[in-house]
Structure 1
């Protein structure tokens, strides 16, 4: 495939050295997010993932299931705690960066390929934002590999080409099974395929049709599940639109590439400009402005790298401006997988003489920057602890264990089989206290609960959980409590709550705060 080659400069760093930098950065960010945040996330996305992974199924009431499968398989091996979950988040990042590296190699970028991965670790989506593992961050690991496999399918012949094409179909299906938004990403492949001569020739071979066949077969069980469950995930996805254009959200998404990837972009372009200005004697400010602007530009109509980098952002904006969806800024997390490769390629063409010294300077800065990240993590953790941040002190793990122990004390010998109530915080019982406890949204006889595999709730012991918040501000009569009490009373079950308190303790929590939780038992032995 005649994608123009970039001269290899400087001598490519050993793969082992690059891999050690990537692994060290991912481990550092896992440690920093665990230390600084003390809970998984404020919206309980990560607990929701775990709830959907128990048991593994072909769909959920909101999203396709691939990222829940990843969570379930991860915790089939690792212990169920916050640090292990953070390690999953950044293992996902590491897999994605390996895909960026592979994409750079497929684009013939030589020594620039590993830097295309390394630079992304100076951007927000691959660092602090990646700490929350959910459907959006799952795409960080999948989109780069799909793009790399597309080029592999173009370039390889014989069995190697068939193998790459089959893998492309599987990875593309995994993208769709993680978030339907990936359809925009996959649609973005069409333009570079049509504009590049090799892409058009590829369409005349059996390889793309093998990809489509594997893609369809991999998606079929999920589509069958969705069709048999009233198209619930598709209904949730369609609810994200509504025909109205929110220009505020469109503007925020339009600026996301600059906001999310600004540190990496500035570090690369300004360092490159400084080196070039010193070599040429040109004014630094003028050189920097030129490189910053032209780092984003295409190199001709058939520039595969530019279209891979540009299309997810452009197509998403187009759908937002058409009112098809209301854009959410977190959707931008995976769109920049090829940005650093694009900047590196363009800057090398603009100022090749500055390349070697620029990359050497960036390499020397790597470990000091990582040390700064660790130091800032300690500072943020100390600030959260000393100012009494509620998100930091929320006693999720302690409360979960106390609630399960309370059930066992009230019902000796009876197994707790499900938990409903406040979704998805109620999944804390399964994650921290009783693995594989079935977690359902809301009340057990609702349609959403049945989608979660609830079955006949009358024959299964369970409870409804309603978090009340910090004791100093806890309120009785929340919506969750009213719904639980009305539901229980209508079915002849005791509607009196068991209210308990829990708080975080230990060296990380110098200002303990008590939080309250209302628990309603649903005893299968109680008949209306």
Structure 2
């Protein structure tokens, strides 16, 4: 702790955080594969596009960049998720050090480490998890731009905001919060009379330009996908809105309780500390309010879903505010106890929770079927090579299984959207018909099997097989799962491999 201001203690904490939780994920999911969201992220990154049918492109870009260095494996993607969390926490510390020194900087990070956000939530590296780092980055750049009104920081704020939007359109709430916070802040006149907001706006639009052009020329499919959550019954939308803020508060319950124990009787100073809040912290307070209020308003107006889990990337603001706005110092006794608690929870998770989870899941599989992905992909690939003298090039069937086969098969076939059961009735691409394709369904999923058979019947011939795989843990046999595979052979003559989609 004495090394915080020297510059080595926080990096050491973050390295330890990654190492311990990497051990947890490796043990807990020893007989379980990556979440379908992670496999989808990798699939999207196989081709450098400005978007996909569901999401903006940032998460796929990150996965592609990571796998240009690291192998396609479970541990690699688990490490990627945790490095993303560590980067997020490091940027949070950049914000904290604008307002405080010493142990308080550490306390901010330790309180955030009490949340499941940066370990459990982060392991599902998807459009939500990629915001863990981009939101603090955009907030830090906006804060520096507002304080200094320098063109460099203004440009950085615009670029970082655009990056957050390329992660997920939910980031519009963060950007709207920046605007409202700047308008309501006492120093708004100096900010808006400067070139800073206009530089940020210009750079942000330029950075988003290629994606906006892609949206305009491809039918804005991610926007359509986002709007599928809208139009819910009024009663359901009202329920979502009313439960959103309590849901976020419940996530913050553990760090809030820890802070109450640290502050003790000094909590009575809160009204005084709130009135004396630093102008920079006041700006962050206004931003934090916006990130909670705007989703609620949107829920009511558009009658849309609004899950509290979607707000996790913005919770760092509350940790910074409660710690940095406190006028009193944090005694070493409390910071040591908090550090021991956080480290103790992490070590307990590795030593006890992770092995128990792995043992339990050997007989009670993860509901996505993750216990069987690698084995099912290997079996399907083996059957393909036994039937046809060519690599498996295209895969469909159950959506999650298609992502899994694309990732875990040695052939790494292309996930082909028109070959998944949710698109049953649509003809696959001609290229898929030329090179042949395979589809994999869970044995009990009659709808998936029927849809794939209907597609396969349009080819001259196809091969259908059934097989089972069993979960194992260090030689202990676990639960089994049946699968149905359908394989359409390549057409005779020259073929062209389908492009990733």
Shorter-chain TM-score: which interval? 0.7 to 0.9
Q: In the alignment, which of 488, 492, 495 is matched to residue 522 of structure 1?
A: 488
Equivalent position of 1:63 in the other structure: 55
Equivalent position of 2:498 in the other structure: none
Provide the TM-score with structure 2 as the length reference.
Answer: 0.87
Contact 1:416 1:461 in 2 (8 A): yes
Instruction: Write the distance in 2 (CA, Å) between the matches of 1:511 and 1:299.
Output: 62
Instruction: Write the distance in 1 (CA, Å) between the matches of 2:453 and 2:135.
Output: 46
Q: Is residue 2:361 matched to residue 1:395?
A: no
Q: Is the alpha carbon distance of 1:251 and 1:297 closer, same or farther for their aligned partners in structure 2, counting shifts above 3 Å?
A: farther
Q: Is the alpha carbon distance of 1:134 and 1:227 closer, same or farther for their aligned partners in structure 2, counting shifts above 3 Å?
A: same
Equivalent position of 2:122 in the other structure: 130
Matched position secondary structure for 2:391: coil
Matched position secondary structure for 1:513: strand
Q: Deviations over 1:377-420 (max 9, x none)?
A: 335325514654455872111211221122122112x2222112
Equivalent position of 1:5 in the other structure: none
Equivalent position of 1:483 in the other structure: 451
Q: Is residue 2:415 matched to residue 1:439?
A: yes
Residues 23-102 of structure 1: matches in 2 within 5 Å? 23-37=15-29, 38-40=31-33, 44-102=36-94
Matched position secondary structure for 2:468: strand
Matched position secondary structure for 2:8: helix
Q: Is residue 2:349 matched to residue 1:373?
A: yes
Instruction: Write the distance in 1 (CA, Å) between the matches of 2:219 and 2:292.
Output: 31
Equivalent position of 2:497 in the other structure: none
Deviates more, 1:491-500 or 1:91-100: 491-500
Q: Is the alpha carbon distance of 1:197 and 1:136 closer, same or farther for their aligned partners in structure 2, counting shifts above 3 Å?
A: same
Matched position secondary structure for 1:339: helix
Q: Is residue 2:469 matched to residue 1:502?
A: yes
Structure 1 residue 448, shift from structure 2 partner:
11
Q: In the alignment, which of 441, 445, 449 is matched to residue 466 of structure 1?
A: 441
Equivalent position of 2:314 in the other structure: 335
Contact 2:38 2:125 in 1 (8 A): yes
Contact 2:395 2:419 in 1 (8 A): no
Q: Is the alpha carbon distance of 1:80 and 1:127 closer, same or farther for their aligned partners in structure 2, counting shifts above 3 Å?
A: same
Structure 1 residue 10, shift from structure 2 partner:
8.9
Deviates more, 1:32-41 or 1:127-136: 32-41
Q: CA RMSD in A?
A: 3.1
Q: Deviations over 1:183-212 (max 9, x none)?
A: 011100112212224443222222322222
Matched position secondary structure for 2:483: strand
Question: Unpaired runs of 5+ in structure 1?
Answer: 1-8, 277-286, 469-474
Q: In the alignment, which of 163, 182, 197 is matched to residue 174 of structure 1?
A: 163
Contact 2:52 2:222 in 1 (8 A): yes
Q: Is the alpha carbon distance of 1:492 and 1:462 closer, same or farther for their aligned partners in structure 2, counting shifts above 3 Å?
A: closer
Q: In the alignment, which of 432, 447, 460 is matched to residue 457 of structure 1?
A: 432
Q: Is the alpha carbon distance of 1:252 and 1:126 closer, same or farther for their aligned partners in structure 2, counting shifts above 3 Å?
A: farther
Instruction: Write the distance in 2 (CA, Å) between the matches of 1:454 and 1:51.
Output: 18
Contact 1:404 1:433 in 2 (8 A): yes
Q: In the alignment, which of 244, 247, 256 is matched to residue 247 of structure 2?
A: 256
Q: Is residue 2:154 matched to residue 1:165?
A: yes
Residues 68-467 of structure 1: matches in 2 within 5 Å? 68-106=60-98, 108-111=99-102, 112-156=104-148, 161-242=150-231, 244-245=233-234, 246=236, 247-273=238-264, 290=268, 303-346=282-325, 348-349=326-327, 352=328, 355-385=331-361, 387-391=363-367, 394-412=371-389, 414-434=390-410, 437-443=413-419, 456-467=431-442
Q: Is the alpha carbon distance of 1:353 and 1:335 closer, same or farther for their aligned partners in structure 2, counting shifts above 3 Å?
A: closer
Provide the TM-score with structure 1 as the length reference.
Answer: 0.83
Structure 1 residue 504, shift from structure 2 partner:
3.0
Contact 1:272 1:355 in 2 (8 A): no
Q: Is the alpha carbon distance of 1:83 and 1:10 closer, same or farther for their aligned partners in structure 2, counting shifts above 3 Å?
A: closer
Structure 1 residue 101, shift from structure 2 partner:
0.8
Instruction: Write the distance in 1 (CA, Å) between the matches of 2:145 and 2:424.
Output: 41
Structure 1 residue 105, shift from structure 2 partner:
2.4
Question: Unpaired runs of 5+ in structure 2?
Answer: 494-501
Q: Is the alpha carbon distance of 1:238 and 1:223 closer, same or farther for their aligned partners in structure 2, counting shifts above 3 Å?
A: same
Matched position secondary structure for 1:499: strand
Structure 1 residue 524, shift from structure 2 partner:
3.0
Q: Deviations over 1:132-154 (max 9, x none)?
A: 11111111111011000011223
Q: Is the alpha carbon distance of 1:482 and 1:187 closer, same or farther for their aligned partners in structure 2, counting shifts above 3 Å?
A: same
Instruction: Write the distance in 1 (CA, Å) between the matches of 2:472 and 2:192.
Output: 62
Q: Is the alpha carbon distance of 1:67 and 1:153 closer, same or farther for their aligned partners in structure 2, counting shifts above 3 Å?
A: same
Deviates more, 1:194-203 or 1:418-427: 194-203
Instruction: Write the distance in 2 (CA, Å) between the matches of 1:512 and 1:354.
Output: 50
Equivalent position of 2:496 in the other structure: none
Q: Is the alpha carbon distance of 1:431 and 1:387 closer, same or farther for their aligned partners in structure 2, counting shifts above 3 Å?
A: closer
Matched position secondary structure for 1:137: coil
